[in-house]
A and B are shown apart, each in its own frame.
Chain A
Amino acid sequence: MTIWTRIVQRDLRIAWRRRSDALSSLFFFVIVVSLFPLGVGPEPSTLRLMASGVLWVAALLATLLSLGRLFAADHLDGTLEQMLLAAEPLWLVVTGKVFAHWLTSGLPLVLLSPLMGLQFGLEGDEIAVLSGALLLGTPVLSLIGSIGAALTVGLRAGSVLLALLVLPLYIPVLVFGAAASGAFASGLAVTPHFSILGALLLASLALAPLAAALALRISLE
């Protein structure tokens, strides 16, 4: 367990010392979201209808953009190789790295989403549903993404392949995450959607680190 906290501390410290990396995917999210009202037009009813979908797709793409950082830098300088030879199970190391990745990429999106929601004219409780769904969904994006990042580490056209591998796997999160806001807008209960997002989170928490650890061993052979 100590290795887990050491990895989280280390990756957070790296993220802080290279904070432009984390900030750039955050700005990417803000800009993509802000482009939609400009392109679609200022009609409030249209904007409110599409707000959750736009935010979710932008969150997906911003996460994808930041996934390249997860293992690539450690692979280049050889620290990833050392992690494969750690005295603790590799999945524990991977879990630490994914948690640090979520803290620096997913969580800022969640914290910024209320502001983005206001841009689309959402009401307070609509914003709460949207941000709550993102809070449950973004860790799943990081976890599933870690498998793709592990499989493509060290490949030349890795980032395109990573998108092709990971985006289809993001579909369930996108569907149920965005649908939570839709259900709330039409007066239906949101708990089923939140339950499914929670189930996705638990399932990916149990399986993704094992799969990513295995993928890393194969990629670094």
Chain B
Amino acid sequence: MLAAQSLQCVRGGRQLFENISFAVPGGTLLRITGANGAGKTSLLRILCGLLLPSGGEVLWRDAPIRQQREDYWRELRYIGHLPGVKDEFTAEENLMFAAALSGIDITAGAARDALDRLGLGKFAHLPVRMLSQGQRRRVALARLALPDSNAALWVLDEPLAALDTDAMDRVLSLIDTRLAAGAVVVMTSHQPFSVVAALHSISIPV
């Protein structure tokens, strides 16, 4: 479902990687490994279409993503280094706006349920500025718990970082459920973890 053809990335005159190719079917978790600075985040941003590769092509459902744009992004959920939550808003408001950007319409109740599943039910009505770093991270990850049937591709940059073991389990179970529904999940992680579904791993050489 998701494929990359000899991707190459050059940042600031330095080549991060070249010849990265893979093809994964639905229901697969693609884990990207590599040392710090190997270009894992750049690869994820290329897969999202935020960064144009210096060479090569990303294919989604056998068509280049740069020809699909909004149709591709309707199916993509990306959680990057930055949480993408606004300090001025409550966790619930943040979630509802994130859903609107992804083109799904959810009720306040659905947003509260999603926060509940990440153990944030009590904090749904607090401005995010009053939450800790780990809790903010959970608000960002709560997007993954929304009732979201369009999401066929998750791209997660270090989703398990800064989480306690309880939250890690919750996120991994969300990933398992989504994989069972036939989606592709691409993620980086320094922590060891395990999932039920097929695991495909690629390593970026330094």
Measured CB to CB, the residues of A under 8 A from B are 2-3, 6, 10, 13-14, 17-18, 76-79, 81-89, 220-221
Contact = CB atoms under 8 A, between A and B. Distances in A.
Contacts, number: 68
B161 interface: no
A78 B157 CA distance: 13
Contact of B50 (A17, A79, A84): A84
Interface string B61-103: 0000000001001101010111111111100010001101111
A79 B86 contact: yes
Contacts of B105: 2
B100 A3 contact: yes
25 contacts: A2-B105, A3-B100, A6-B100, A13-B88, A14-B86, A17-B88, A18-B88, A76-B82, A77-B82, A77-B83, A77-B86, A77-B87, A78-B83, A78-B85, A79-B86, A81-B50, A81-B78, A82-B84, A85-B48, A85-B50, A86-B73, A86-B103, A87-B70, A87-B74, A87-B101
Contact of B51 (A14, A78, A221): A221
Given A78-B81, A89-B70, A220-B50, A83 B101 contact: yes
Contacts of B82: 76-78, 81
Contacts of B48: 85
Contact of A10 (B84, B87, B97, B103): B97
Report the interface size class on chain B.
Answer: 20 to 34
B85 A77 contact: yes
Given A85-B49, A87-B103, A220-B50, 16 more contacts: A6-B100, A13-B89, A14-B88, A14-B89, A77-B85, A77-B86, A78-B82, A79-B84, A79-B86, A82-B84, A84-B50, A85-B48, A85-B50, A86-B101, A86-B103, A87-B102
A89 B74 CA distance: 11
B52 interface: yes
B48 to A, nearest CB: 6
Contacts of B101: 3, 82-83, 85-87
By secondary structure, the A interface counts as helix
For the complex, would chain B's binding face be called helix, strand, loop or mixed by DSSP majority? loop
Contacts of A79: 84-86
Contacts of A89: 70
A79 B74 CA distance: 16
Contacts of B81: 78
A209 to B, nearest CB: 15
Contacts of A88: 70, 103
A55 B89 CA distance: 35
Contacts of B89: 13-14
B100 A82 contact: no
A86 B102 contact: yes
Contacts of B51: 221
A78 B80 contact: yes
A87 B71 CA distance: 7
Contacts of B70: 86-89
A17 B105 CA distance: 24
Nearest to B49: A85
Contacts of A86: 70, 73, 101-103
A88 B98 CA distance: 13
B80 A81 contact: yes
Contacts of B74: 87
A2 B100 contact: yes
A2 B102 CA distance: 12
